[in-house]
A and B are shown apart, each in its own frame.
Chain A
Amino acid sequence: MFRGRYAIPAALLASVGIFGLMAFSPSAAQADSTTPTTLASAGGGYTYPTPTTSPTVSASSGYGTANINLPETFIAPGQAIFDASCASCHGADASGTSRAPNLQGLGAGTVDFWVSTGRMPLADSSVQATEKPPRFNRTETLQIAAFVQSKTPGTGVPIPIVNLSAANLESGGSLYTLNCAACHTITGAGDALAGGAYAPSLHLATPTQIIEAIRSGPGNMPRFSEGNLTPTEAHDIAAYVHGVIQQPDDRGGFGLGGVGPVGEGFVGLLIGVGLLMLVCFWIGERS
């Protein structure tokens, strides 16, 4: 049974080795991106994806204030999709029914947020709308938005043109902590709210969706008007979420889900004290 005695240290070494190898794969990938937060890389690739029939840009003055002008040719196909997929609840003219709210006046940005995050069409009306793969592609989404916007031109939340190349991460971080972290948590992991609601994780949100959500306040989220957060500030927050929250600098190892000391406590007790108790088993007698 001498061989058996070696099994324990061998298993210990092996488990630590496997643990180490697992740990190395993310950290090695991160080794060259330990400073992922240069503004260029944060903003790069997230200027607005161009739809097939490109909508024009309403170039108003000031950074972060540009919005998408949806072409009129989008309205008719948008209406067709709306009739097929949305009208049964929201009504043929998007004015709402007893089952779903009025969409008129909410603006293209609100529609874009709900449809592009997959929350609409709704899967289960009894619970909070959940993020899921979107049903419609980019063009179809914009067509629906164009149709709803056409009911009340010029009102509601527009679809912003997002360009994060000039955003200020420091300002975005401060604003995020003050305005967003109380619900979405400081790591963007999200958490349960009162009455069965929850604040979703921000890890998959695109900068456009972030700004649309800030402006439209989906569900339980407050609405932040331009008098509250200026377009520049909204862009700074989007840049912080995209560049820091979504690509956290976990140079200390596994992020452990970003849920803080509860996860750390379990790791410390189960892995830390647990491994050392196994060593005790090896060193000492077990009878």
Chain B
Amino acid sequence: MIDSSLRWVDDRLGIAKGGRTFLDKIFPDHWSFMLGEIALYSFLVLLGTGVFLSLYYIPSAHEIVYHGSYLPLQGQKVSEAYASSVGLSFDVKSGLLMRQAHHWAADIFLGAIAVHMARVFFTGAFRKPRELNWIVGVSMLLLGIVNGFLGYSLPDDLVSGTGIRITYSIVESIPLVGSYLGFFLFGGNYPGNGIIIPRFFLLHVLIVPALIIGLLAAHLGLLVKQKHTQFKGRGKTEHNVVGSPMFPTFMAKTTGFLFMTTAVTFILAGFAQINPIWQFGQYEPFQISYAVQPDWYMGWLDGALRIMPSWEFVGWGHTIPLEVLLPAVIFPGIIFNIFFAWPFIEARHTGDLAYHNLLDRPRDRPKRTGAGAMMLMLMFMVFSASSTDVLANFFQIRLNSVLWFFRIAVPVIPVITYFLTVKICEEMAGAEGIGKRKPPNLVHRSATGEFSTVPTEARPGDGHEELEAVPVPTFIDMVPADLATGPGIRRVMR
């Protein structure tokens, strides 16, 4: 049955040879290689739930009177976008679950990208020949942030409307072309003629996702072509990959992981309320709530805006709002350029142009690890600065003191982090056997009161590494009866 179908397909497409190679493709077993899959699978959740939402959402700023099931809004004049967002939450079965799952999946998607990127960075997996895949990945991060912001803006609620207003002002701050860009994006002076909602919708559901899907295909294609990196270890060299085959072992694990990712997203979606737009109400340009922030992956920009001193350049008949331009345009520009260029910066710095398939331990590369820790700390500090008011309220400190703290801490603490990390790495590199899993020692007290240390044997779990790695066998010598009682049931003791 399988045999004849395969023959039919292979006659026409010739897939057997490459297909068998693909089924034998080896995936490293280390846990850190699963991090990117969180992003991949939450992206699938985003696509699925997103399609559901787009069936009910109406991208229109047209004003109507709300007549849905949420009583406090009854009779209010709202936009169709807002009314349909509340409507798909309350008046479509399972709608609220899907909407919240979509939003949580976006938060998890970008969080997983950050964690995955940190793993790739700290282990040096971006080095030759994988610089291009690093760039593809950073591009997806950038597009993911943009699409997250676009989606956040679509419900046209009070909080997201404030975000759109701020975005307009940031665009406006760019010298020479700022007001043109703003007018072209919004179809006129803010708030425009309501065209921004359909434009954001088109970008959010078609253009940016299409770009992300294209880059994702390139990301995975390059991964297959260039094969995985791996950590140093028994039998692992620059010229092989050791781990589990694509089929069936890896496929089972990753399918299970797909379910796990979906499960965590949906459980959060039902138990942790996210962006309750019905409580925020319709956006009006003259209304505002205190304590509004963008989603976490935009928070670092908001924090940078908050701590920036009020430097505005005025002269020769022109104004350059540096207090906006520097934190919201130049700063993210520099950060992403560093991200994009890092593989080449590092290669130039080290002069290392060789192929690298074996990964570094972070402690063996103190400067790179220090630089990564510095970047993480910088991001964390500016992100924290986006909640100055919430922190001041929570810890009952003066708002002004919190702001001054961050003005000083944002440039200083990352630098301290760098030197501290380099120091720690150097210390760890000097320590013998650090981080190795060691069998425990038994301390034995004899009848005469003498103590002796008895090393225990390696634990069964450790024995996994005892076998030599072998190529996936072409055939398994197996009588049909073995299919039922064969592999998977018995264990050969060794």
Q: Enumerate chain A interface residues (CB-CB to B < 8 A).
A: 1-2, 4-5, 16, 19-20, 23, 27, 35, 37-38, 169-170, 172-174, 177-178, 181-187, 189-196, 198-199, 240, 243-244, 248-256, 258-262, 264-269, 271-273, 275-277, 279-281, 283-287
Contact = CB atoms under 8 A, between A and B. Distances in A.
5 contacts: A248-B279, A256-B273, A277-B38, A284-B29, A285-B30
B195 interface: no
Contacts of A251: 90, 96, 273
Given A190-B393, A192-B393, A272-B265, 4 more contacts: A192-B402, A244-B279, A253-B273, A279-B260
A276 B104 CA distance: 13
Contacts of A23: 270-272
Contacts of A281: 31
Contacts of B465: 287
Contacts of A169: 71-72, 74
Contacts of A244: 72, 279
A265 B299 contact: yes
Contacts of B269: 252-253
Contacts of B276: 248-250, 252, 255
Nearest to A2: B460
B167 interface: no
A170 B76 contact: yes
Interface in B418-474: 437, 459-461, 464-465
A268 B296 contact: yes
Given A191-B393, A244-B72, A285 B257 contact: no
A38 B38 contact: no
A284 B284 CA distance: 50
Please report whether the interface of chain A is mostly helix, strand, loop or mixed according to DSSP: helix
A249 B272 CA distance: 13
Contact of A261 (B265, B270, B278, B293): B293
Nearest to B38: A276
Nearest to B27: A284
B290 interface: yes
A182 B289 contact: yes
Contact of B72 (A2, A170, A283): A170
A272 B38 CA distance: 10
Interface stretch (B105-113, B136-144, B199-207, B408-416): B105-113
A275 B264 contact: yes
A11 to B, nearest CB: 14
A264 B72 contact: no
Nearest to A250: B273
Contacts of B34: 279-280, 283-284
A43 to B, nearest CB: 14
Given A265-B299, A272-B264, A276-B38, A189 B274 contact: no
Contacts of A285: 29-31, 464
B273 A254 contact: yes
A173 B291 contact: no
Contacts of A27: 271
Contact of A194 (B107, B286, B400): B400
Nearest to B459: A1
Nearest to A179: B287
B275 interface: yes
B268 A267 contact: yes
Interface stretch (B170-178, B384-392, B478-486): B384-392
A177 B279 CA distance: 10
Contacts of B286: 178
B295 interface: yes
B294 interface: yes
Nearest to B281: A177
A10 B76 CA distance: 49
Contacts of B294: 261
Q: Give the interface residue-count category, chain B.
A: 35 or more
B389 A191 contact: yes
Contacts of B257: 279-280, 283
A68 B289 CA distance: 34
Contact of A264 (B115, B233, B274, B390): B274
B76 A174 contact: yes
B16 interface: no
Report, nearest first, the 5 A-B pairs whose CB atoms are least far apart.
A265-B296, A284-B31, A268-B107, A252-B273, A192-B392
A147 B69 CA distance: 48
A178 B271 CA distance: 30
A4 B459 CA distance: 12
A283 B253 contact: yes
A192 B306 CA distance: 15
A259 B291 contact: yes
A66 B38 CA distance: 61
B292 interface: yes
B308 interface: no
B280 A186 contact: yes
Contacts of A35: 69, 71
Nearest to A12: B260
A249 B268 contact: no
A253 B270 contact: yes
Max count, chain B CB within 10 A of own CB: residue among A37, A170, A187: A170
Contacts of B273: 250-256
A31 to B, nearest CB: 13
Nearest to A19: B271
B100 A276 contact: no
Contact of B111 (A181, A250, A269): A269
Nearest to A39: B71
Contacts of B347: none
Contact of B31 (A19, A191, A272, A283): A283
Given A243-B72, A269-B296, A283-B34, A196 B261 contact: no
Given A2-B460, A181-B289, A253-B270, A170 B104 contact: no
B392 to A, nearest CB: 4
Contacts of B293: 260-262
A3 to B, nearest CB: 11
A286 B281 contact: no
A191 B296 contact: no
Interface in B28-63: 29-35, 38
Given A186-B281, A265-B107, A272 B287 contact: no
Interface string B87-112: 00110000010001000100110011
